[in-house]
Chain A
Amino acid sequence: MANYITAPLTPEVARTLRAGESVYLSGTVYTARDAAHKRLCALVAEGKPLPFPVEGSVIYYVGPSPARPGQPIGAAGPTTSYRMDAYAPTLLRLGELGMIGKGKRSDEVIQAMRETGAVYFGAIGGAGALLARCVKSARLVCYEDLGAEAIRVLEVENLPLTVVIDSQGNNLYETGRADYLRQYGEA
């Protein structure tokens, strides 16, 4: 049942994914949270190049705990996505095709996703130890001064994700709850 996909994403793959679908993601993802997004958007505003290739990229909203010696990373679960909503449309319009986080997105982000054919994935919040097992390597890209909020490039293998909002704007937070209540809700 699960779909195995690779990052960076192609526009074709991104458009075929549907809300509610379970996927296992392998390949290259970039980490960025609030502070890094703010700096990335400042670069865009100044017309300067970004520190990683945005085309087809998947950005994981995560601030991992420090890696122990011999480990690639510490716990690495998602942070709440709405704090990136102010910045996400800018990156989507530059070619970002996937966002990994947890929680609701703004109408502006969903509209930008529909325009650009991008996907919002949910990772399990509070399962940072489990998700860390899927991270095979982590390397600093930039903004080391931000500590846990620095941008890192991760090589991941079979990261378990759920498509929460697809490129057509279908939203599992609405449909999943409605489906459950249709079957088990009080009459």
Chain B
Amino acid sequence: MRILPAQTITETVARLCITANTRLPQDVKDTIAAARRAEPWPVAQDILDKIMENYSIDGDIPICQDTGMACVFLEVGQQVCIDGDLTRAVDEGVRRGYAEGYLRKSVVADPLDRVNTGDNTPAMLYTTLVPGDRVKITVAPKGFGSENMSRIAMLKPSDGLEGVKAFILDTVEQAGPNPCPPIVVGVGIGGTFDKCALLAKQALLREMGSHHPKPFYAALEEELLEKINALGIGPQGFGGRTTALAVHIETLPTHIAGLPCAVNINCHVARHVSEVL
């Protein structure tokens, strides 16, 4: 059994909150640069140039002022014993990271009463147990301009593949300019209501442009990306080819009566960073 002090979790989460919000992952940068090369529409080219200039700004200023809710994914090895309160350790990491990094505090304590917690806690924490003696921490700050445009549908089995495609395309169409396109489209298909939504969020954590292991779904990802980029919404909704940078699909077995489909939209500031302890 390996002993890991909760303090180490706190320090790591704090550091990752700052890194995620100030440095865009290289795979996201590469994908935006490739989209710029393929973009034929001058207005869209200009927007993509400014987006690239924005993420290239040196220093510790956040890429986007909406530094999000701190979504934290922990994969805890079963042979690790965490010395201390894990949930409190994560929240303390968020508290420190958002204070020390001059990140925006965007969380209200009650969804109707709406008083800001002042420290961006609590984290949206997901913990899974895995074999081994390591702990993998992923911090993915999630802005709400794009979160608000996300949807879930409990489709019927008879809706089938066409129903899934139509729901995904309609979600992007309805979102239009609101989620700061170009967007990343995370899709969950299957599972239960809650697991399906989680799949869609986890799909956003994948390396940009990586594919589902099953060739069928990998082809569906490609097809949907092409169809979304034929909508003409374009960067910021001003028209153009580059509406989405990637479509990532995750799937789970589901019930005989159901076909859940969730679409979690992310903006082009697709932030996430991981560290293994």
- Is A102 in the interface zone, CB < 8 Å from B? yes
Q: Among A76, A77, A129, A133, find the residue whose CB has the most chain B CB atoms closer than 10 A.
A: A129
Distance in angstroms between the alpha carbons of A76 and B104 in the assembled complex: 11
- Count chain A CB atoms within 10 A of each CB in B54, B116, B118 and give the residue with the most: B54
Residues of A within 8 A of B65 (CB): 62-65, 74-77, 128, 148
Rounded to whole angstroms, the CA-CA distance of A64 and B65 in the bound complex is 5
* Closest beta carbon of chain B to A22's beta carbon, Å: 8
Contact B118 A126 (CB under 8 A): no
Contact B267 A126 (CB under 8 A): yes
With an 8 Å Cβ cutoff, the count of chain A residues facing the other chain is: 50
Q: A146 to B116, Cβ gap below 8 A?
A: yes
94-109 of chain B: CB within 8 A of chain A: 102-106
Within 8 A of B (CB), among A133-164: 133, 146-149, 160, 162, 164
**Shortest Cβ distance from residue A78 to the other chain B in the assembled complex, whole angstroms:** 9
Minimal beta-carbon separation of A42 from chain B (angstroms): 14
A82–B65 alpha-carbon span in the complex (Å)? 18
**A74-B65, A126-B269, A129-B57 given; A184·B241 CB < 8 A:** yes
Q: By the criterion CB–CB under 8 Å, are B104 and A127 in contact?
A: no
Does A80 interact with chain B (Cβ within 8 Å)? yes
- A172 in contact (CB, < 8 A): yes
| In the complex with contacts A130-B50, A179-B239, A35-B114 CB distance below 8 A | yes
Q: Interface code B223-239, partner A: CB below 8 Å = 1, 0 otherwise?
A: 00000001111101111
What does the 1/0 interface line of B7-36 toward A look like (CB < 8 Å)? 000000000000000000000000000000
Q: Is the CB of B176 within 8 A of A74?
A: no
Chain A residue nearest to B149 in the complex (CB)? A80
| Inter-chain contact A80/B238, CB cutoff 8 Å | no
Contact A102 B114 (CB under 8 A): no
A-B contact count (CB 8 A): 159
A128 and B61 alpha carbons, distance in the complex (Å): 9
Residues of B within 8 A of A79 (CB): 66, 145
Which of A62, A127, A160, A183 gathers most chain B CB within 10 Å?
A: A127
- A104 CB–B CB distance under 8 Å: yes
Q: A160 — nearest CB in chain B belongs to which residue?
A: B50
CB proximity to B under 8 Å, residues A154-187: 160, 162, 164, 172-173, 175-181, 183-186
Question: Which residues of A from 49 to 77 have beta carbons under 8 Å from B?
Answer: 62-68, 71, 74-77
Chain B contacts of A185 at CB under 8 A?
Answer: 230, 232
Contact string against A for B residues 30-67, beta-carbon threshold 8 Å, 1 for contact and 0 otherwise:
00000000001101100100110111010011111111
- Smallest Cβ distance from B145 to chain A, in angstroms? 5
Contact A126 B268 (CB under 8 A): yes
Q: Is A103 an interface residue (CB 8 A)?
A: yes
Question: Which A residue's beta carbon lies closest to that of B241?
Answer: A184
> Which of B47, B102, B180, B268 is within 8 Å of A65, CB to CB?
B102
**B240 close to A (CB within 8 Å):** yes
B206-244 Cβ-contact flags toward A at 8 Å (1 or 0): 000000000000000000000000111110111111000
A178 to B231, CA, bound (A): 10
Residues on A close to B: CB < 8 A? 20, 35, 62-68, 71, 74-77, 79-80, 82, 102-104, 122, 124-130, 132-133, 146-149, 160, 162, 164, 172-173, 175-181, 183-186
| Closest CB pairs A-B (n = 6) | A176-B239, A125-B180, A180-B239, A103-B178, A75-B65, A127-B54
A/B interface sample: 10 pairs, CB < 8 A: A63-B66, A74-B102, A75-B104, A103-B177, A127-B54, A129-B61, A129-B62, A162-B238, A177-B239, A178-B239
